[in-house]
Amino acid sequence: MGYDTKNIRNVVLLGHPGSGKTTLAECMLFEAGEISRRGSSTEGNTVSDYTNIEKERGNSIFASLMHASWKDSKINIVDTPGYDDFVGEVICSLKVADTGIMLLNARSGVEVGTELIWEYIERFSTPALFVVNQLDHEKADFESTLEQARERFGNKVLPVQYPLNAGDGFNTIVDALRMTLYVFSEDGGKPEKKQIPPEEMDRAMEMHNALVEAAAENDEGLMEKFFDAGTLSEEELTEGLRIAIANQEIFPVFCCAAESNMGSGRIMGFVNDVCPSPADRPPASLADGSELVCSVDGDTTIFIYKTISEPRVGNVSYFKVYSGVLQGGDELENASNSQTERFSQLFLANGKDRSSIDEVRAGDLGVTLKLKDSHTNQSLNTKGNGRQIEPMHFPESRIRVAIEPPGKAEMEKLMKSLHIIEEEDPTLQVEQSATLKQTLLHGQGQLHLDLIKYRIQKVNGIEMNFIRPRIAYRETITGVSNTSYRHKKQSGGSGQFAEVHMRVEPYHEDMPDPDGLTVRKREVEDLPWGGKLSFYWCIVGGSIDSKYANAIKKGILQRMEEGPLTGSPCQDIRVSVYDGKMHSVDSNDTAFMIAARMAIRDSFKEASPQILEPIYDVQILCDAEVMGDIMGDLQTRRAMIAGMDSVGHYQRISAKVPQSEMFQYSSTLRSLSQGRAKFTRKFSEFNAVPYDIQEKLMADYHEEEVEA
């Protein structure tokens, strides 16, 4: 028998690296009796960080699913990695979570990781609570952490608790919701409940009243009762808080020292009593714009939010049931590819451990194995129902590297392993670029790609080295030229003859017709690599038969694939063919194609050619103290600063930076800022490279050509 929707709580642990998410997950499992001993992430024996790579590094890299029973609830706990390089794991976890638990490190307050994750909480409209962790640390400062959180995330951040003795020897929490003092023994666990001492009463009451007021504010009935009686009963208070949290009107703050196992029980109690079940959340959005209410009634719909590949097992699919009930042995149809999949085995997961279960009901998270052709971001339904849960969107890549080509046999093995990782990790893209003649990896940061390299080498036993990726330059022209080319070949019997005269000009929209030419036909073609070729047929008097127009255009396009300056694709030119010659026997398509190819090469060179380089919009979020260094570094990268503003405690820099100057930027930024800065980037446009760089690129290309 599965768990009822109303008793399910899907929580996701979020926060800056090292705030204590994995340690808190361990406490939750221990307090709920799921494990008999608490592991530690530094020792590499936690339930959550179970992969070898996580054990070795001592921090989380993958989101992992756990669960614990607490009072009436089955709490599904998803522990996420804090490093921004693994943001994909945060996105897939938030997609299926109904409550976010954001950890703040009492030693450092709101950190840059907190800021970034908050953006996702807002994007997903996830109800959330804060946990100020590490209150047992000698440098813990609850007041300042709370103040920073309120300053940054607003007055909806309301403390439920405060510590009486944060720092070394911490063991006491005042709970202003229950109006109780919690005193922990040295081993933590279940605290002793005591009365709040008289000298703390004023502060506790003030906090209590703020909570009561906030709870009443969101419900008219409760508001009236509050005005009449001046307070609310415990049930009314819980109900008011439930509504306020579900609507993201309150973000309550709890106290914790996960390392000492203090505070997790109260958090789970609150999740059970107050946090929303999947049925209390707004209906899920479907790809077609309609909505789906979470209920066990009706057709079954599930969504795969994560896939991992396990040795000897194959694909392990993590899913959420959005509607209906999924029973072991059921068959569902994949809405993306109509594949029928049989769910022969269903599991609950606690890290790497799985236990069989016969059904998973609406709202719950489950695991299955051996799906044939179903992948992350796909929905499966009762046959005939094609519902598609709105897919997840992952951020643009921030870093790319090229792979040093190994031997042919190794390359095949390497690509196979990379595709398995790509299936698991939606923030990794493997690209075999024909234009750059390189295999590229696009990812979220140096650490992200380094860990992929590590996996390939260690797990798959394949040597893989990164090299500097080539830049996808483009070529265009800035001037006008008129050229002609005669192709003539006499070999034995029939020969080849074609002569083409053309004018080339820089293309832009709405340009007037070419001066002095009579235009018979205008074509504008979108080029596969971006930009346009505008092709005008301006032959008068039949010097070239119009049946050769296509062959001429084809010749031009062929040559444009490999520009004359650096061999990069050409774009945004207008070619007007205005004269030429043909021969009644020796002219044919091939001859005109060749003539056009040569003519365009010559005219391009004479029309003030220009190399264009890709420019990225880069946004950096950083601590004010490291801003100067970051700006100084940007200046050495030919960056154009587009703006600066502040976001909470952080500064945001927007800049346009050439891609060629972004190599290894993620590592540079990390070391410049000691981890207190993050960036995103997005392709913006192609811009002309400066003269000296153009000269150098052309010289390098020429050298390569000579060597080849």
Ligand X SMILES: Nc1nc2c(ncn2[C@@H]2O[C@H](COP(=O)(O)OP(=O)(O)OP(=O)(O)O)[C@@H](O)[C@H]2O)c(=O)[nH]1
Q: What does the binding site for ligand X look like in residue numbers (CB under 6 A)? A: 15, 17-23, 40-42, 59-60, 81-82, 133-134, 136-137, 257-259
Binding-site partner at residue 18 among ligand X, Mg ion, none, CB < 5 to 8 Å by type:
ligand X
483 binds Mg ion (CB under 5 A): no
Binding-site partner at residue 10 among Mg ion, ligand X, none, CB < 5 to 8 Å by type:
none
Q: How far, in Å, CA of 26 to CA of 38, rounded?
A: 6
Spatial strand order in the sheet of 251-255: 64-70, 73-79, 8-14, 99-105, 128-133, 251-255, 157-159
Binding-site partner at residue 100 among Mg ion, ligand X, none, CB < 5 to 8 Å by type:
none
Nearer to ligand X, 241 or 257 (CB): 257
Binding pattern for the stretch 627-666 against Mg ion, x by CB under 5 A and - elsewhere: ----------------------------------------
Cβ–Cβ under 8 Å, residues 573 and 524: no
22 binds Mg ion (CB under 5 A): yes
Return the residue of 5, 19, 60, 651 that touches Mg ion, per CB under 5 A.
60
Span of 14-22, 472-480, 540-548, 696-704 interacting with Mg ion by CB under 5 A? 14-22
Q: How many residues bind Mg ion (CB under 5 A)?
A: 3
Sequence-ordered strand ranges (E) for 234-352 = 251-255, 284-285, 291-292, 301-310, 314-323, 325-327, 331-334, 340-342, 346-350
Binding-site partner at residue 348 among Mg ion, ligand X, none, CB < 5 to 8 Å by type:
none
Binding-site partner at residue 240 among ligand X, Mg ion, none, CB < 5 to 8 Å by type:
none
Least gap, CB of 60 to ligand X (angstroms): 3
320 forms beta bridges with 303, 365
Span of 55-63, 244-252, 255-263, 339-347 interacting with Mg ion by CB under 5 A? 55-63
Least gap, CB of 81 to Mg ion (angstroms): 6
In SS3 terms, 45-103 reads as CCCCCCCHHHHHHCCCCCCEEEEEEECCEEEEEEECCCCHHHHHHHHHHHHHCCEEEEE
Nearer to ligand X, 259 or 579 (CB): 259
The residue behind tokens 């109904």 is 98
Least gap, CB of 18 to ligand X (angstroms): 4
The first and second tokens of residue 21, run together, are: 């998410």
CB-CB neighbours of 77 under 10 Å: 29
218 binds Mg ion (CB under 5 A): no
Element (H, E) at 369: strand 365-369
Task: State the Cα angle at 639 between 633 and 644, rounded to 5°.
Answer: 85
Binding-site partner at residue 336 among Mg ion, ligand X, none, CB < 5 to 8 Å by type:
none
Nearer to ligand X, 58 or 328 (CB): 58
Binding-site partner at residue 259 among ligand X, Mg ion, none, CB < 5 to 8 Å by type:
ligand X
Element (H, E) at 104: strand 99-105
Binding pattern for the stretch 236-275 against Mg ion, x by CB under 5 A and - elsewhere: ----------------------------------------
Binding-site partner at residue 269 among ligand X, Mg ion, none, CB < 5 to 8 Å by type:
none
- Where helices occur in 326-462 by DSSP H, the ranges are 408-424, 446-458
Least gap, CB of 62 to ligand X (angstroms): 10
Q: What is the CA radius of gyration of the chain?
A: 32
93 binds Mg ion (CB under 5 A): no
Binding-site partner at residue 681 among ligand X, Mg ion, none, CB < 5 to 8 Å by type:
none
Binding-site partner at residue 429 among Mg ion, ligand X, none, CB < 5 to 8 Å by type:
none
Least gap, CB of 86 to ligand X (angstroms): 8
Span of 56-64, 100-108, 305-313, 624-632 interacting with Mg ion by CB under 5 A? 56-64
Least gap, CB of 117 to ligand X (angstroms): 10
Span of 18-26, 94-102, 429-437, 495-503 interacting with Mg ion by CB under 5 A? 18-26
Least gap, CB of 652 to ligand X (angstroms): 23
Q: Transcribe 327-353 into DSSP letters.
A: ETT-EEEETTT--EEE---EEEEETTE
Least gap, CB of 79 to Mg ion (angstroms): 6
C-alpha distances out from residue 681 to 85, 194, 545, Å = 13, 53, 50
Q: Indicate the pairing of strand 346-350 with strand 677-688.
A: unpaired
19 binds Mg ion (CB under 5 A): no
Q: Transcribe 172-236 into DSSP letters.
A: EEEETTTTEEEE--TT-SSPEEEPPPHHHHHHHHHHHHHHHHHHHHT-HHHHHHHHHHSS--HHH
Residue 474, classed as helix, strand or coil, is strand
Nearer to ligand X, 40 or 460 (CB): 40
The first and second tokens of residue 122, run together, are: 């807002």
Least gap, CB of 139 to ligand X (angstroms): 9
Residue at 226: amino acid letter: F
Nearer to Mg ion, 80 or 660 (CB): 80
Cβ–Cβ under 8 Å, residues 464 and 453: yes
The first and second tokens of residue 42, run together, are: 């530094």
Binding-site partner at residue 19 among Mg ion, ligand X, none, CB < 5 to 8 Å by type:
ligand X
The first and second tokens of residue 606, run together, are: 């004479």
Nearer to ligand X, 138 or 513 (CB): 138
Nearer to Mg ion, 24 or 158 (CB): 24
Least gap, CB of 63 to ligand X (angstroms): 10
Least gap, CB of 619 to ligand X (angstroms): 22
Nearer to Mg ion, 21 or 400 (CB): 21
Spatial strand order in the sheet of 399-403: 429-433, 438-443, 399-403, 466-467
Least gap, CB of 6 to Mg ion (angstroms): 30
374 binds Mg ion (CB under 5 A): no
Question: To 10 degrees, what angle do helices 220-229 and 234-246 make?
Answer: 140
Nearer to ligand X, 24 or 677 (CB): 24
Binding-site partner at residue 378 among ligand X, Mg ion, none, CB < 5 to 8 Å by type:
none
Least gap, CB of 271 to ligand X (angstroms): 18
Q: Indicate the pairing of strand 359-361 with strand 640-647.
A: unpaired
Binding-site partner at residue 496 among Mg ion, ligand X, none, CB < 5 to 8 Å by type:
none
Q: 482 CB contacts (<8 Å, ≥6 apart)? A: 501, 502, 503, 603
Least gap, CB of 32 to Mg ion (angstroms): 19
Span of 13-21, 30-38, 206-214, 361-369 interacting with Mg ion by CB under 5 A? 13-21
Nearer to ligand X, 133 or 483 (CB): 133
Length of the chain measured in residues: 708
Cβ–Cβ under 8 Å, residues 449 and 403: no
Cα–Cα nearest to 443, from 451, 435, 432: 451
**DSSP category for residue 256:** -
Binding-site partner at residue 368 among Mg ion, ligand X, none, CB < 5 to 8 Å by type:
none
Least gap, CB of 427 to Mg ion (angstroms): 18
Nearer to ligand X, 80 or 334 (CB): 80
Give the residues lining the site for Mg ion (CB under 5 A). Answer: 21-22, 60
